[in-house]
Structure 1
């Protein structure tokens, strides 16, 4: 990658793609830190107030003003000359954005999904292969989003908290160090993960979001407001989450990847301990006051089901691990919303790994080389051309 650095100069310019809660917070923070930042959003209307002010006002955890180099709905303008493109949109829009970005990317640029959910980097990477993007472009994904943040007014965003540790991995894995080195210049919380299977299968939102939404659908549709975690996750709901989590862990084990359980994650993230998942969630004060969605068809279904549960189930098929609990939630979500998520979500084909063996998948993740079970080898050297 070093031979491409000269085209971007010594400065580090960021393009932040997406001007929602997370995008405004991330762009504002980096600009406040003094980096050149270009903020992109497909809809120009969302950018009007930000463009008038020239940036966003940060409140809460950080206080200050982040002034942007550009505020645009022109994707080419946003990406031109940017060393790092930070994708901060719902995962359901990743595939379309990857296609739109493809003609505008240049060797040496780094694209980081914030976060990738499950299989996000694999899907982006596959789209870039299909669109013949230069292999000097790097794709990576963060395991989680760095901030808890909300837009609180026109050109104003509040950052409630910043995570202390955000694992990130590139495909192929050998490029992760380059990505981390760049990201840590602006965000020291980014740390290297082993590979994108680790970042993808450590997706706790896949467990905590869709099932409680579906199992509280009547409460949501009658307008009875309640806390998503402390009131929406009863002992019975938690048992379903534990079954789903056991399947996620089984898929990871079959792939030779170590990820923590939901209970272990709660202990590491918030210091809470419980004899079961229900007890751990109930004793987590950080979840107090987090309201349930006000409609059933929300991002906990429209994003977490197709971009988290579907790819976990698909990877389970690849390694021969049954995922009946996860499949049941996907089917219920499809019935509740009228969307066939198994057809619309991140399948093995969309992630570019259909027909691979486990060994072939590892070769792909670590080296960027495609090896299929019966049809021979389609290789990418990682340094020059697909």
Structure 2
């Protein structure tokens, strides 16, 4: 019997907690790293994370092998390293991880956003990492999730298909095969230019935040980002932004998915 891969999840926000708990519930050995020790004190004390989800989804107590704020300890035994932090923190994580990465490890950015894998690779090399490490990026985050408490997470939905690409692209298949026992939802994303230019967060997140700034202030953030925030008028703005993205990709010889095509791929929705 093949020994399950050892995972390290970097980042204990809503996404990192959801991923770590779900992986643990699937039977994988999981280490959770967070740079701020105070943020994972309760998780460390309890030894894991309580996960809730919609009916039929994963739920229960995900027991973690280790919870740490020491990067060397976090990476020591990991086969697959899941980076689940805002893209603005990728460079900082890469700099901290560079001295401790080892031959054969796989790093996956969840998600890479635009040029995430390229940036991460450059930063680890600039910081002296010579290990044969495979860096890959997901086109988007596989979960729609939230934090329900210091040691609790909730998954609303798991996307049905998420493109992923490695750098170089010749290693994409081996990454997909390595994570398939946990995540068969990941599919070949062709290359990191393709996944980068299909970054839907760049279309949805800034525009929705700006166009709903009044509502965010008035409710102190107590509203549902997509369900309440995407009105017909806002949707029309998103479509204009999306056409611009697709046009830019086309000028580079890349057939980018439209936002509507992406929603159908990820959530099997139409509209």
TM-score if structure 1 supplies the norm length? 0.65
Q: Choose 1 or 2 for highest CA Rg.
A: 1
The answer as to 2:19 corresponding to 1:26 is: yes
Q: Tell me if 1:45 matches 2:38.
A: yes
Q: 1:149 aligns with which of 141, 145, 148?
A: 145
- Which residue does 1:17 correspond to in 2? 10
Residues 1:168 and 2:164 aligned together: yes
Provide, for residues 240-284 of structure 1, a one-character-per-residue CA deviation record: whole Å limited to 9, x for no partner: 3222211211121122222211122234444554xxxxxx3xxxx
Distance 2:83 2:36 in 1: 15
The CA distance in 1 between the partners of 2:52 and 2:268, in whole Å, is: 27
SS at match of 2:43: helix
Aligned ranges 1:96-245 → 2 under 5 Å: 96-223=92-219, 227-229=224-226, 231-245=228-242
TM-superposed CA distance for 1:230, in Å, is 5.1
Q: Which runs of 5+ in 1 are unaligned?
A: 1-8, 274-279, 281-386
1:222: how far off? 3.5
- Correspondence for 1:266 among 263, 266, 269: 263
Q: Displacement, 1:203?
A: 1.3
SS at match of 1:257: coil
Whether the 8 Å CA contact 2:165–2:191 is kept in 1: the answer is yes
Q: Distance in 2 between matches of 1:161 and 1:247?
A: 28
* Secondary structure in structure 2 of the residue aligned to 1:243: helix
Aligned residues: 266
What's the RMSD between the two structures over aligned residues?
Answer: 2.0
Partner of 1:301: none
**What TM-score do you get using the length of structure 2 for normalisation?**
0.90
Determine the structure 2 residue equivalent to 1:277.
Answer: none
Unaligned runs of 5+ in 2: none
Question: 1:56-71, aligned counterparts within 5 Å?
Answer: 56-60=49-53, 61-71=57-67
Shift of 1:135: 4.9
TM-aligned CA deviation for residue 145 of structure 1: 1.2
Does structure 1 retain, via aligned residues, the 8 Å contact 2:51–2:153? yes
Pick closer, same or farther for the CA change 1:214–1:19 going to 2, 3 Å: same
Q: Distance in 2 between matches of 1:84 and 1:269?
A: 23
Which has the larger displacement, 212-221 or 94-103?
Answer: 212-221
The structure with the largest strand share of the pair is 2
Do the aligned residues in 1 keep the contact of 2:5 with 2:28 (CA within 8 Å)? yes
**Secondary structure of residue in 2 paired with 1:45:** helix
Distance 2:144 2:253 in 1: 31
CA distance in 1, matches of 2:38, 2:263: 38
- 1:209 match: secondary structure: helix
The superposition leaves residues 195-215 of structure 1 with CA deviations (integer Å, 9 ceiling, x where unpaired) of 011111111121112113212
Counterpart-to-counterpart distance in 2, 1:183 and 1:109: 12
